[in-house]
Structure 1
Amino acid sequence: MRIELVEFALPLPDSGPYGIAAGSDGTVWFTEQKRNRIGARNEHGEFTAFDVPTPNAGVMSILCDRNGDLWFNEYHAGQIGRMTPGGEFKEYKLPDPGCAPFGLAEGPDGAIWFTEMMTGRIGRLSPGGEVTEYKLPHEGAFPSFITTGSDGKLWFTENQGNRIGTIDTDGSVTHYALPTPGSAPVGITAGPDGALWFVEIAGNRVGRITTDGEISEYSLSTEGAKPHAITSGIGQDLWFTEWGANRIGRITVDGKLTEYDIPTQGSEPHGITVAADGTVWFAEECNRLGRLTIK
């Protein structure tokens, strides 16, 4: 297996790309948190961008739903945004403007589920635009990323609670404490093995939890690697960003770890996604997108 890693500078300086998602047509979508835009790079390498209607909204996370529409959080504005690939926006105000929505997932019920960091809630936005919120039982949990598991439940990280949580579509919540104290889990994704995989930004580990709650942890080779986001590959592997080590990591479902250095020093990789052809894309806060191709 040969790896090719290439970086692409964004057209405008100080865009601050953070979240990233791959569309089915080869377009890669990303948030420009510093310029308050949704950016796109098509399969021909052309960049476009769309201004978010609400100023200084705090766009960070992004997902491409099954219909091809883009959903993103507005961390500072207390809103969830939706955009068509053609650039038509709709924004949904949440009940508490200071709730700080962050992670997003498309649920098995067709709704968009999201985390509220500051209020410690899990939210649901129905296809009709109705918002329902579920308060977590532990104060200061700081729920971060969220994903749909193979069991049809929504799974999320509790960054300050040092737990992995799960919520049924009816709002029933279960929590699992992590073995490593103060691990600060952030990214989470459904793995190809049916388990949930997550990264511990302070614990310096990649974690795995089965839908029955059995937890395994895998230590990274570099201290202070600060793994941030994780996504499933198209084979029996997962890919994650190492913000502190300036690397992209790969872990197989049996725990084999490989890491790849990013050419630009201090690139601060955050969001990561895998396209349908297996190409790995990631957002670098240093104003670049990275592409890792397996040949």
Structure 2
Amino acid sequence: MNDALQGLLELLDLERIERDIFRGTSDAAPMVPRVFGGQVAAQALVAAGRTVPDDRSAHSLHAYFLRPGDPGAPIVYTVDRIRDGRSFTTRRVVAVQHGQPIFHLSASFQTYEEGLEHQEPMPDVPDPLSLPAAEELLPRYKHLIRPEVSERMLMARAAVDLRYVDEPPYGSVGQPREAKSQVWFRTNGKLDGVADDPLLHVCLATYVSDMTLLDSVLLAHGRGGWVVGDIVGASLDHAMWFHRPFRVDDWLLYDQESPSASGGRGLAKGRIFTADGRLAVSVIQEGVMRVPHQA
């Protein structure tokens, strides 16, 4: 486990202030000057999960990003214990900074049950080890990527090994193509021992799920996004369903597509598969997508 991954795990290890109140810090460097949305979502799910019995695992979350987070200030997460049923547990979490809510999350947890079983098949894609890692890919586009952005991206990829199956949006600027994107990802190190916790794997997947999901919207219009500065964007809402167990330190395929963009917003949906073809997670997100002169 490298220092960057250890730092990410520490970011998700919230301080418990009261029975249902937690405090988290932020890492401003990996994405943009505001708090990365995937971090807030992951921390909120950590807070919710710490109030749930150990025999119940997260099966869904629904969240709204309300205000940009301040990376220089702590975030306080207050958990509301909505319901504890025989099979399901529901929690609501509000993230607050400077006295104002910046994020709302509802999460549901369930005891394991046998039931009906089917899934969509996994797409046929190249092996992840045949694809370039970030330190190989980003230098190819250094003439397009803003220097400060390139540094942040490399720092983010130090904790998570993320590999594009095809060209990323910043490699296809001015060339609209099908609104689909695929990436393989896993943590840059094994999560064993103390860190070997099913909730942690779910929270890390939540963190990563916000990194590339809107790429498919950008590809449809030949835009590079915040990386090159031709789109002003931000996550608006985010939903995830966790279908089957998985480990985020093993390779996972994130298959993403955008069915629609309109009204200054873009919609994207994703499916996360394990390397052996099991559908582990479904994701849907809508985000603000404005061209700069409209921002």
**Structure 2-normalised TM-score?**
0.27
Higher relative contact order (CA 8 A, sep 6+): 2
| Pair member with larger Rg | 2
Answer 1 or 2: which has greater helix percent.
Answer: 2
What is the TM-score normalised by the length of structure 1? 0.27
